[in-house]
Amino acid sequence: MRSLLRLLSAMTKVERIVLSVLLSILIISFVVLLRRFYVQNTMFVAVRGGTYIEGSVGELQPLNPWFVTGNDVNRDIVSLIFSGLMKYDPATGKIVDDLATVKISSDNRVFTATLKPDLVWHDSTKEKPHPITADDVVFTFTTIQNPEFSNPILKQNFQGIEIDKIDERTVRFRLSKPYSFFTSNLTLGLLPAASFVDVPAGKLDQTLDFGFHPIGAGPYGFVSMLQTDLSTEITIKRFDRPGMPDYKIDRMVLRVFPDYSALLTDITNLNGVRVVPRNEKGLPILPRHFRPMPYTLPQYVALFFNLDRDVPADKGVRLGLQLAVNKQEVADAIHETQIIDTPLLELDTGDWRYRFDAAAAKGAFFESSWNIPEKVHLQRLLEQHEANAVGPLSSIPRIALLGSGSILTVTGSMQGIKMPVSVNGTQVQTGVVLKDGTVQTLSGSWIVRLKAGNGGSGTLKMGMNIVQLTDGKNDIIDTAFLDRITDARIFSLASEEQRLVTEFLRSKKLRETDPTFIGIGNLYLDHRFLRRKTATDQPHTRIDGKGNPLFLTLLTSATPASYPAVAAIIQKQWQSVGVEIKLDIPESKREFEEKLLKRNYDILLFGQSLFDNLDSYPYWHSSQIQDRSKDAKKMKLDAFNLSQYTSFEADSELVRIRETSNVKSRTNALSELKNLFKKDIPAIVLYSPLSIYGADQSIHGMTQTRLALHADRFATSDQWYSVTERQFLEGRSWLHFPSWLLGVMRGK
């Protein structure tokens, strides 16, 4: 050291500056090499930490897995706090093990669930451990079977099931008949029996202390609930579970806003938006730093025919209405992208038979005896024309301009006529009328004068008259029709109508491409008379043989906003083929649900979800129809067959799909069911709604795969992260720096 100091002191000032510069270069180069080595031999990895804040629109209710039906916001939060024996895996679209390992018997009747080891509830501590046991499993599911349990929809899933505790970690579910979808029922979040001691089954939905401070076994535990001026805020934190996936996000804050406007005022503090609305152009209403993540669920929106009503029960009407729906126009108007044709979402709908075809729709209505007034009117004119064209009364004009007191002289041939004969009670004379008004008797002809009046024997009344030639025994020899008109303008319209009838008959010998061709589609009924149809003429409502209009009521909900918009489009499309539609859109949710419950509609525009198992049984089996007696006491809240569709063949296939585990048998049953729906047309399926989830750039690892529920976006939240750090690659450390440096120096 002294030698070094003497050397430095012996240096000139310039030499010391040069040495300092060289040392600085050496140190900087070494640091650069260290960093280069570190960058090349490490990678960013996700680590625990960070907070995810999400906004949603809705109403927060008690957080209890038993009572989340119909509240998607609650379902989202519950899916993080609670876990079930099994869970839905969006990556595969299958139900997989979660808190338990489940074994299924070969006949799909016995499901044995064994809890994984060392599982505890969120309130467990070292001083007071609270393990999850078979007793909790039995409690969770047998409670649902209690007659007093207040969720009939969930109760239906566990009817006739024996639930037995085998040991402290094992529970057996024994079904009375095979049910291949039963694993979906086991995704229900488990609840701790200790939290509901002495609570009657009928009052479980009133346990607010638990509902707003829930204890579950999910990946996140409840921390707090905070009510602010803008939102209700739920905070949850990561809960470590042995043997389970490692979640990275430390905390999640889930804010529930009353509307989207309130949510947007807090958007700078959010990392995610649950369901993003779209503007009139179909674009998501989100700031630019958010990325929209679109997805569709196994859901469909459809027009359900109430088959208990007379008119919708007419298959020809249903077919006509189906053919008259332009689904592409509907989808374009509300910016939907996935048009579907069948409620069986497992099927490829590429071969679906019924497509928009207005001409075919009109033909279907004709087969059902519902015709446009033009056709009915023309048919009557043709019948009258045919009656007037032959027989002794063929000389009577089809129309006549006659004022009150005017005389219409009718003549005819005596050939085949035996006197005496009368026309409308007035006896005819033999002869012809001369120019001076006198009658000259001639062999072979007859004459009668009919007076225009307001009634009475032999008079011609205003409007349509049936003129009859009768013999002495008052037997009818011939009949003709005469329309008496007193107004010259009306007479002109009637004359034009008669000309069009003549042209229509002539056109039967022409091709439709002929410019002079006149078909029923070229005619329009304007008040009483047919005329040429123009582009601005609005179609008339179809009528049946009794003159009753084809009138239907379409019920839908005011929310979401797309429903009223779709209903208005459908109304316009069906009016274009002569079907009058009255829209019924109740202002309140309660009023809508009451009409839905009572099946107070001809047609219902509504949506249905098939969830994770794509089971159509609840929506189409005859056991799911509403009580037809109209007895309020017998009305079922869980009657999901909105079309009141009953079919023995469909019932059989729906049961076969539920009971079989054989892929080929299931495929065949679906194919048969598809053909039945095509034939019976209980509903017109329109589209699968598009949903958009919004996330900012600070959260990584988010993926949207085969979601069955909105809550399934959290099924992959174990892959989410916001905090990263560099870690050495496997097999590398700082000890490898010398060898790396040597390689750099050698040019490797």
Give the model's pLDDT for residue 455.
66
Residues 6+ apart with CB under 8 A from 650: 620, 621, 622, 673, 676, 677, 680
- With tokens 């990275």, the residue in question is 248
Give residue-wise pLDDT tens across range 309-319.
999 999 999 99
Question: Quick one: what percent of the chain has pLDDT higher than 90?
Answer: 59
- With tokens 């459809």, the residue in question is 302
Cα separation, 310 vs 511, in Å, equals: 38
Confidence of residue 442 (pLDDT cuts 50, 70, 90): low
Q: Which of 475, 252, 523 is nearest to 375 (CA)?
A: 523
The pLDDT of 419-429, averaged and rounded, is 87
The pLDDT of 197-226, averaged and rounded, is 93
pLDDT higher than 60, residue 437: no
pLDDT higher than 90, residue 142: yes
Asked if 429 and 446 count as a contact pair (C-beta separation under 8 A), the reply is yes
Asked if 38 and 740 count as a contact pair (C-beta separation under 8 A), the reply is no
The pLDDT of 40-63, averaged and rounded, is 89
Residues 6+ apart with CB under 8 A from 605: 301, 302, 303, 304, 554, 555, 556, 563, 566, 567, 570
Host H or E run for residue 44 = strand 42-47
Q: Which of 434, 429, 460, 468 is nearest to 447 (CA)?
A: 429
Cα 250 from chain centroid (whole Å): 38
Give the model's pLDDT for residue 443.
58
Residue 147: is it exposed, middle or buried by C-beta count within 10 angstroms (0-12/13-18/19+)? exposed
Give residue-wise pLDDT tens across range 535-575.
999 889 999 888 899 999 999 999 999 999 999 999 999 99
531 or 15: which leads in pLDDT: 531
Give residue-wise pLDDT tens across range 59-99.
999 999 999 877 889 999 999 999 999 999 998 889 999 99
Cα separation, 728 vs 651, in Å, equals: 61
Cα separation, 267 vs 274, in Å, equals: 12
**Domain 299-349+549-688, architecture per CATH:** Roll (3.10)
Q: Which of 639, 636, 650 is nearest to 680 (CA)?
A: 650
pLDDT higher than 50, residue 235: yes
- Helical axes 663-680 vs 648-659, angle rounded to 10°: 160
Strands (E), 351-438: 399-401, 407-413, 421-423, 426-427, 429-430, 432-433
Domain residue spans of the chain: 2-41+729-745, 51-258, 299-349+549-688, 374-506
DSSP per position, 428-443: PEESEE-TTS-EE--T
Of the spans 46-50, 156-160, 242-246, 273-277, which averages the highest pLDDT? Answer: 273-277
Cα separation, 252 vs 237, in Å, equals: 6
727 or 641: which leads in pLDDT: 641
Give the model's pLDDT for residue 2.
66
747 or 133: which leads in pLDDT: 133
**Mean of all residue pLDDT scores within the chain:** 89
CATH code for residues 374-506: 2.60.40
pLDDT higher than 60, residue 438: no
Separation in Å, CA 464 to CA 222, 236, 389, 449, 471: 82, 82, 17, 18, 23
348 or 248: which leads in pLDDT: 248
Give residue-wise pLDDT tens across range 716-728.
899 999 887 787 7
Give residue-wise pLDDT tens across range 387-415.
999 988 998 999 999 998 899 988 888 77
Least confident range of 37-51, 131-145, 637-651: 37-51
Q: Which of 732, 336, 747, 744 is nearest to 569 (CA)?
A: 336
Confidence of residue 430 (pLDDT cuts 50, 70, 90): confident
The pLDDT of 608-616, averaged and rounded, is 88
The pLDDT of 266-283, averaged and rounded, is 92
pLDDT higher than 90, residue 431: no
Confidence of residue 11 (pLDDT cuts 50, 70, 90): confident
Give the model's pLDDT for residue 354.
54
Confidence of residue 200 (pLDDT cuts 50, 70, 90): very high
Give the model's pLDDT for residue 353.
47
10 or 173: which leads in pLDDT: 173
74 or 663: which leads in pLDDT: 74
Give the model's pLDDT for residue 436.
53
Give the model's pLDDT for residue 5.
65
Asked if 724 and 46 count as a contact pair (C-beta separation under 8 A), the reply is yes
Host H or E run for residue 273 = strand 272-273
425 or 139: which leads in pLDDT: 139
Give the model's pLDDT for residue 433.
54
The pLDDT of 419-428, averaged and rounded, is 87
The pLDDT of 13-32, averaged and rounded, is 79
Give residue-wise pLDDT tens across range 151-195.
888 888 898 899 999 999 999 999 999 998 999 999 999 999 999
Fold entry, domain 51-258: D-Maltodextrin-Binding Protein; domain 2 (3.40.190)
Confidence of residue 14 (pLDDT cuts 50, 70, 90): confident
Question: Quick one: what percent of the chain has pLDDT higher than 70?
Answer: 95
